[in-house]
Amino acid sequence: MSPPSPHRSRHALLGLLGVAALGLAWLGLQPRRDALVVYCAHDSIYAEKILRDFEARIGTPVSIRFDTEATKSLGLTELLIREKDAPRCDVFWNNELPGMLDLQQRGLLQPYQGTGYARIPAAFKAADGSWTGFAARLRVIIFNTAKIGTTPPNLDLPPGSDHSRLAIAKPLYGTTLTHYSALWQLWGRDKLIAWHDDWRKTGGREANGNAAVKDLVAEGVCFAGYTDTDDFFAARDAGSPVAMQAVRLENGKTICIPNTVAIIRGTKRTAAAQQLVDFLLSAETELALAQSKARQIPLGPVPDAALPADVRALVEAAQDGVDSTTLGPARAECLAWLKSAYLK
């Protein structure tokens, strides 16, 4: 048998070192025994204040584990799968849904239907209470008005068209994976792969996360790209010459991406976990996220007058969202293909 190539050995060593580094970091930040452990894929700049408010109000210490911009939703989902036989996490606050569907299918979530669950519409929660959605974003086309004017561009270009001034985040992670999963379900495997290959062959830019797409467009390096509403607002608030349009699929649906929350099966802090879930699913928390710079869209009832104008303008589009509760199989198939294409 021939020895492994230096290239393959180097990748294996780097992978082992990465796992070891994560393990040491976690060991160095071991939570108190009485702390509620929360894995959180939502942006820490918004999520930490809400979790600290809960901590202060309830008197339960909270230990939070965040992850990186590029890999946070997928990284934490896969960590929970690896830890299934000895779970460390009590509550998972994910910033999208398909990963939560994967955990539900694997039996890793503990159903709970509390006061917060009751106020969220059925389209945004598991029938058995395994997970519940709240505070959504929309997938949008962001474009630079200084480069192409104020008319929203059509990014559905014919095969072979120049994509060198267009950007999208690497689809292995986050809401771009959700976007690809929706296309996989609508188009099927062959059309999605052909579209993806054409994008790459004709110069389309792949960025490490939606924030990087936002930066490329805001700086005029790219004229337009796919990102989420919160990243668009970050660019506009910074004074960049940008506008946006909700992504509409051929069937007229938008891609509405709720935050989701679930209790991890096996938790020894059930009462505190249930309190946190109800807190996150409250009108108070949804309004806090709507009034934040992220302008997230409430899914449950809130006073209309309390919503910023930017958020009110998005409510109808969010209601037109594709039924993402059905995306689980498409996500699994799409992710398997993406891993084979990117993680060689």
pTM of the model: 0.84
Look up residue 325 and give its DSSP letter: G
Could you say which architecture CATH assigns to the domain 137-246? 3-Layer(aba) Sandwich (3.40)
What are phi and psi for residue 54, nearest 5 degrees? -60, -45
Which H or E run includes 82?
Answer: helix 72-82
Q: What is the pLDDT along the chain (344 residues), one digit of tens a residue?
A: 444 444 444 444 444 444 444 444 444 345 567 899 999 999 899 999 999 999 999 999 999 999 765 555 678 999 999 999 999 999 999 988 888 999 999 999 999 999 999 999 888 999 999 999 999 999 999 999 999 999 999 999 999 999 999 999 999 888 999 999 999 999 999 999 999 999 999 999 999 999 999 999 999 999 999 999 999 999 999 999 999 999 999 999 999 999 999 999 999 999 999 999 999 999 999 999 999 999 999 999 999 999 999 999 999 999 899 987 888 899 999 999 999 999 87
Ordered by start, the domain boundaries in the chain are 33-136+257-322, 137-246
**For residues 166 and 205, is the Cβ–Cβ distance under 8 A?**
yes
Q: Are 33-136+257-322 and 137-246 the same fold in CATH?
A: yes
Contacts of 76 (CB under 8 A, 6+ apart): 39, 40, 41, 65, 67, 92, 94, 99
Could you tell me which CATH class the domain 33-136+257-322 is placed in? alpha beta
